[in-house]
Amino acid sequence: MDFVMPDFRLAAPELFVAAMSLVILMVTSFAKSRARSAAFWLCEFTLLAAVFLTLFSGTVDRAQTFSGMYISDLLGGFLKAVVCLSVAVVLQYGRAYMADRKIDSPEYYILVLFAALGMMVLISASHFVSIYLGLELMSLALYALVAIDRDNPRSTEAGMKYFVLGALASGLLLYGMSMLYGATGSLQIHEISQRIYERSANDMVVVFGLVFVLVGIAFKLGVVPFHMWVPDVYHGAPTAVTLLVSSAPKIAAFAMAFRILVLGLFDLAEQWQMMLMLLAVGSIVLGNLAAVAQTNIKRMLAYSGISHMGFMLLGLMSGVVKGEGGTYAVNAYSSAMFYAVAYVMMTLAAFGMVILLSRAGFEAENVDDFKGLNQRSPWFAGMMLIVMFSMAGIPFFVGFFAKLSVLQAVVAAGNVSGQALYYWLAGLAVLMSAVGAYYYLRVVKVMYFDDAVDTSPLTATLGTRTLLSANALSIAAVGLLPNWLMQICAFTLLH
């Protein structure tokens, strides 16, 4: 077989981030006194430059390189830009937090950059080998980051739990991939789709492979019943690391789910649709009910994140009815994508507020730590109110339109199929959203109607305050004008 030179220009963002990771490693090895500051600014430059390369180095048309292992398209470009921007925000929010606890070593910044690189590879992977490489690069960096506070038993315990369960999920995913390879004779997503369409693969082996692959995807999304790591890891990890784990990886996991299930295993939609339905219902119900009982805000946001991923799966499963996709399919998939992006915006602001209230020797982890925030800082109480209202799905914030677009996709699927099950799903989702509103509004009640226990002023850099305010205000702004983001999601899926 003749060797074909890869088109390195298509993978310029990933190559740049990989090269800069090594450069930062070298620079921090020699700049000992200013290693932390150098690592931070170089990482921020790398991520913002990667956004520029992602938006301007690729092609509008879909193209493959590296022997079909890497795909360049508008979907990947948009999601990679969101990931890089999200990780840049994470680093800015968490810088002072990590410095106060003496754990802002250069290795922290390099591991965050490696995690971002893994997400970028995962988003543009069109081959099971590149999918697994991207997934493991992201996961291994996150395992180390969760346990980076080595003197904190809770952090090391969370890291160990995450590693053991993550290794198990990766093994199941790899086993499912091997079964699909054995049945179809290919590891490339497009070729697997073609073999299944031609009915040249063993149906039973393919379905078993699908089940194991779906387990791996469900674990990375943190949905029921593969959610057991989420509250413990969110609670045990340093809040700056929790901020990373809870945000950008969800975008990468969505991309993996979309490329494998919709683009690769579309002809098995009747099977994976029912599986996604069960995962979505379980996540929405358990996530909201469990969050009601939480007094720790990091665990509350963990369980609410489980329910949000359940909503996202509702959109993903609504694109196929009776084994066929129609014009409503793009609306369904774009609603899931819109929900994932909106969730990242909201969770960045929510954990950013937790970091803002924390200081050296004090973790603002409990809901009661937000008591009287309006007395301490009316501005940031207002920012947190926007975030909580949006997560609860109250009009007119981005969270409301994210939920509305998913529910419209579910109802449209019910109209096309004529099955009442879809209407019941939409009704259940609305009911559970009402339950979820309770624990979000509880935070608002504590901020505005309870007396402050801690009256110390909020200490944060001007950059963090400005970025956090912009983050929260963007949630309100996109809520008032959501169409442009919805259209971007639909456009990238169509091209």
pLDDT of residue 349: 92
Task: Write out the DSSP string of 76-130.
Answer: HHHHHHHHHHHHHHHHHHHHHHHHHTT---HHHHHHHHHHHHHHHHHHTB-BHHH
Residue 153 lies in a domain: no
Number of domains in the chain: 1
- DSSP H helical segments within 418-482, as ranges? 420-449, 462-480
Task: Using the predicted structure, report yes or no on whether residue 198 has a pLDDT greater than 90.
Answer: no
Residue 299 lies inside a defined structural domain of this protein: yes
* Residue 226 backbone phi and psi in degrees, to 5: -110, 40
Give me the percent of the chain exceeding a pLDDT of 90: 34
Question: Is 223 domain-assigned?
Answer: no
pLDDT at 6 over 80: no
Task: Output the furthest CA–CA distance in the chain (Å, rounded).
Answer: 74
Spell out the residues 6+ positions from residue 38 whose beta carbon is closer than 8 angstroms to its own.
24, 27, 28, 31, 106
363-407 confidence digits (pLDDT tens)? 778 888 888 888 888 888 899 999 999 998 888 889 899 999 999
Give the integer Cα–Cα distance in Å for 363 and 492.
40
| The residue to which tokens 């939409």 are assigned | 426
Q: Return the sign of the alpha-carbon dihedral for residues 212, 213, 219, 223.
A: negative
Query: If DSSP codes are grouped into helix, strand and coil, which group holds residue 222?
Result: coil
Report, as an integer, the average pLDDT of 237-265. Answer: 90
pLDDT at 289 (0 to 100): 92
Angle at 111 between CA 109 and CA 116, to 5 degrees: 95
Whether residue 164 lies inside any domain: the answer is no
CB 28 within 8 A of CB 39: yes
Q: What is the average pLDDT across 315-343? A: 80
Q: Residue 2 has what pLDDT? A: 62
pLDDT at 361: 65
Nearest to 456 by CA among 389, 313, 307, 356: 356
- Separate counts of helices (H) and strands (E) for the chain: 20, 2
Query: Is the pLDDT confidence value at 48 over 90?
Result: yes
**Full-prediction pTM beyond 0.75?**
yes
Q: Per the domain annotation, does 485 fall within a domain?
A: yes
**pLDDT of 420 higher than 90:** no
The one-letter amino acid at 64: Q
The yes-or-no verdict on residue 189 having pLDDT over 90 is no
* 378 vs 320, more confident: 378
154 touches 173 (CB < 8 A): no
pLDDT at 318 (0 to 100): 85
CA distance 373 to 161: 34
The chain-wide mean pLDDT, for the chain, equals 87
More confident residue, 470 or 328: 470
Token pair of 267 as six digits: 């002809």
Give the pLDDT band (50/70/90) at residue 323: low
Determine the structural domain holding residue 285 and report its residue range.
267-495
Q: What is the pLDDT of residues 268-300, one digit of tens each?
A: 888 888 888 999 999 999 999 999 988 889 999
| Residue 323, helix vs strand vs coil | coil
Q: How confident is the model at residue 456 (pLDDT cuts 50, 70, 90)?
A: confident
The answer to whether residue 196 scores a pLDDT higher than 80 is yes
Beta-bridge partners for 63: 72
User: 417 or 214: which carries more pLDDT confidence?
Assistant: 214
Q: Determine, yes or no, domain membership for 236.
A: no
Examine residue 321 and state whether it is found in any structural domain, yes or no: yes
Indicate whether 165 belongs to any domain: no
Q: Rounded to an integer, what is the distance from CA 149 to the centroid of its chain?
A: 23
**pLDDT classification of 326: cutoffs 50, 70, 90:** low
Q: List the one residue out of 312, 313, 318, 342 whose CA is nearest residue 330.
A: 318
Question: Given a cut of 80, is residue 62 above it in pLDDT?
Answer: no
